[in-house]
Amino acid sequence: MVTTKLPHPPWREQPQLLRRGFVDPSMMLDELSARYGPIFGLGTGPFRLAVVGDPTALREMFSMPVDSFRWGYRFNVLRFVVGDQSMIVSDGEPHKRRRASVKSAFGRRSLNGWIPMIVGQTDVVVDELAMMTDADRSPIDLYRVGRRLVLYIVVRTLFGERFAGRAAEISELYQRPQDYIEAPLTRQLPHPFPWTARARVRADRHALDGLIDEQIAFLRANPSDDPRDVLARLVTDGDLSDSEIRDQVVTLIGAGFDTTSASLAWMIWRVSLTPGLWGRLRDEADDVFGPIEQHTTPDERSLAGLTLANATMRETTRLHPAGVVSPREAASDIELGGHHIPKGTLILWSAHLAGRDSGAWDEPLKFQPDRFSHLTGPQQQLANSAWIPFGRGQRNCLGLALAQMELTLIISRLAQRLDISTSATGIPRPAGMVINRPAGGAPMNVSIRPTRRRSGPDLNLQST
Ligand code: HEM
């Protein structure tokens, strides 16, 4: 097959385009893919980029041998925050070993065991909202509320109950590193100087390591056979060193917390702006969970019954994937979609472009969760290639089952127990280069559907 070079914008336009891309990557991708198609190049020499958003080319890419690509490339800025031994910046045998250990600690059966906790913690949040005055709730930023809830859930699934009480402390230690990796690359250049943003991020990581070490020491002294405690499984059953465990834990919390809460915020926006959808989600929740007053314990059958909530999650992450682009470096010369991509090119594959591809989706810019319930055979195949918010293949998202389960259960329970509305008439613009979240959060007017109060740990929402 004849391969061609990647089309690219004129060199003189590129510095300006890259600058704009750091402020609003989705807008830059939409504009450039309209001009050059869903695969195009940017930059030159050691700073060569290939943006790939064509679903067919992406299917090719995800089925290539995993060693055709590198994640531990020199400029991977995540390394500074997650550590050199994190699976997310590792390749080859070390990646395989680290991923396999975490994966086995994350078995699907153990995840289903978390369903009651996720619904229960959502109830705790609703109960806290109920205790606020109407004025405090109108409006309230449900992005920040959801962020605390998701962090609590992620920490609890990783560390068990004993550590979840420290979620607020962990959240603070993550804030600076998250802000730092969103900063322009010029501000992230390595240096040893104290009293700088980089030094403060290093100190936060050090403090986080201290918390994790405490937990590792506790588990060594008090072994646990709880199949739902991911950290206990890593410490007791795995073959990772303590420093490897630390880097995986920091990665799992980091990868699982901002991504999921950003998706929840987009979901709240989309549902609040789609007439009738909140009511349909509420009806489904009433059917599946039963009346709140009955306190039934939800399980995997409840999750399977939430088909509209699941479709809403899929439709939201199609239009607003948490990663607008995800990077990997070509480890050798490769061909993608009929284009030659030289070794060393940084490939930015885009779930955002694939999710809006007009060949794969009818009316791609319309938010229609029901599209997922009546896809015909060929449409289903196209949708399979083009719905990739969690990646595909051997490096796909390790937390995809947890994230999808959280988003489905949380939106459903919120719809069952809250009324929300917004005076906004349109979806906000996206913010964030690494994590795509709605600019300005998700301020909503919130009122409570009357129910009896439940008890549980205080998430301290008044401080959000
Ligand atoms: C809506 C939520 C989430 C989204 C959209 C998301 C998306 C992604 C994407 C696009 C990748 C990269 C795939 C690639 O490089 O090809 C990834 C990797 C990863 N994600 Fe997620 N993620 C989410 C939640 C989570 C959660 C809850 C966890 C765990 C607690 C998690 C853990 C990971 C890990 C460990 C990797 C690296 C896998 C590897 O390198 O082998 N993610 N995720």
240/259 same-domain check: yes
Q: How far apart are CA 287 and CA 418, in angstroms?
A: 16
pLDDT tens readout for residues 108-134: 667 888 999 999 999 999 999 999 988
Distance in Å, CA 425 to ligand 1 centroid: 32
| Token representation of residue 61 | 């890419």
| Token representation of residue 267 | 């979901």
Instruction: Let me know if residue 19 belongs to a domain.
Output: yes
Q: How far apart are CA 432 and CA 253, in angstroms?
A: 18
Greatest alpha-carbon pair distance for the chain in Å reads 68
Please state the φ and ψ torsions of residue 306, each to the nearest 5 degrees: -85, 65
157/216 same-domain check: yes
Residue 63's alpha-carbon distances to 267, 342, 385, 395, in angstroms, are: 30, 18, 11, 11
Q: Hunting for tokens 């719809």 — which residue is that?
A: 415
CATH number at residue 341: 3.30.43.20
Distance in Å, CA 404 to ligand 1 centroid: 11
Distance in Å, CA 390 to ligand 1 centroid: 6
82/200 same-domain check: yes
Low-confidence ranges of the chain (pLDDT < 70): 1-2, 108-109, 184-188, 451-464
Question: Minimal CA–CA distance to 397: which of 251, 229, 209?
Answer: 251
Within 10 Å of residue 291's Cβ, how many Cβ atoms? 10
Instruction: Let me know if residue 394 belongs to a domain.
Output: no
CB of 51 within 8 A of CB of 21? no
pLDDT tens readout for residues 54-70: 999 999 999 999 999 99
The one-letter code for the residue type at 455 is S
DSSP secondary structure string for all residues of 117-185: HHHHHHHHHHHHHHHS-TTTTTTEEHHHHHHHHHHHHHHHHHH-HHHHTTHHHHHHHHHHHHHHHHS-G
Instruction: Let me know if residue 349 belongs to a domain.
Output: yes
Q: Ligand 1, atom 43: nearest CA belongs to which residue?
A: 397
Distance in Å, CA 84 to ligand 1 centroid: 17
Pocket test for ligand 1, best of 153, 258, 390, 402 (most atoms within 8 A of CB): 390
Distance in Å, CA 291 to ligand 1 centroid: 34
Distance in Å, CA 434 to ligand 1 centroid: 12
Angle, CA of 446, 450 and 456, to the nearest 5°: 85
Instruction: Let me know if residue 123 belongs to a domain.
Output: yes
23/148 same-domain check: no
Instruction: Let me know if residue 211 belongs to a domain.
Output: yes
Q: What is the pLDDT of residue 268?
A: 98
442 lines ligand 1 (CB under 6 A): no
Q: Ligand 1, atom 27: nearest CA belongs to which residue?
A: 256
* Partners of 327 in beta bridges: 348
Q: What is the pLDDT of residue 186?
A: 64
184/239 same-domain check: yes
Of 388, 414, 441, the residue at which a domain comes to its end is 388
pTM of the model: 0.93
Distance in Å, CA 398 to ligand 1 centroid: 5
Instruction: Let me know if residue 393 belongs to a domain.
Output: no
Within 10 Å of residue 413's Cβ, how many Cβ atoms? 25
Split into its structural domains, the chain has a count of 2
Of 388, 417, 437, the residue at which a domain comes to its end is 388
Domain hosting 364: range is 1-70+324-388
251 lines ligand 1 (CB under 6 A): yes
382/278 same-domain check: no
Instruction: Let me know if residue 438 belongs to a domain.
Output: yes
143/249 same-domain check: yes
Q: Ligand 1, atom 3: nearest CA belongs to which residue?
A: 259
Helix count and strand count (H, E) for the chain: 19, 12
Q: Ligand 1, atom 17: nearest CA belongs to which residue?
A: 397
Q: What is the pLDDT of residue 366?
A: 97
134/184 same-domain check: yes
307/449 same-domain check: yes
259 lines ligand 1 (CB under 6 A): yes
338/435 same-domain check: no
Distance in Å, CA 253 to ligand 1 centroid: 10
Of 369, 388, 407, the residue at which a domain comes to its end is 388
Q: What is the pLDDT of residue 23?
A: 80
What is the three-class DSSP state of 399? coil
- Kindly tell me the burial class for residue 4, based on how many C-beta atoms sit within 10 Å of its own C-beta (0-12, 13-18, 19 or more): exposed
Question: Is the Cα torsion angle 52, 56, 62, 65 positive or negative in sign?
Answer: negative
210/348 same-domain check: no
CATH number at residue 103: 1.10.630.10
Pocket test for ligand 1, best of 228, 310, 397 (most atoms within 8 A of CB): 397
22/170 same-domain check: no
| Token representation of residue 149 | 């809830």
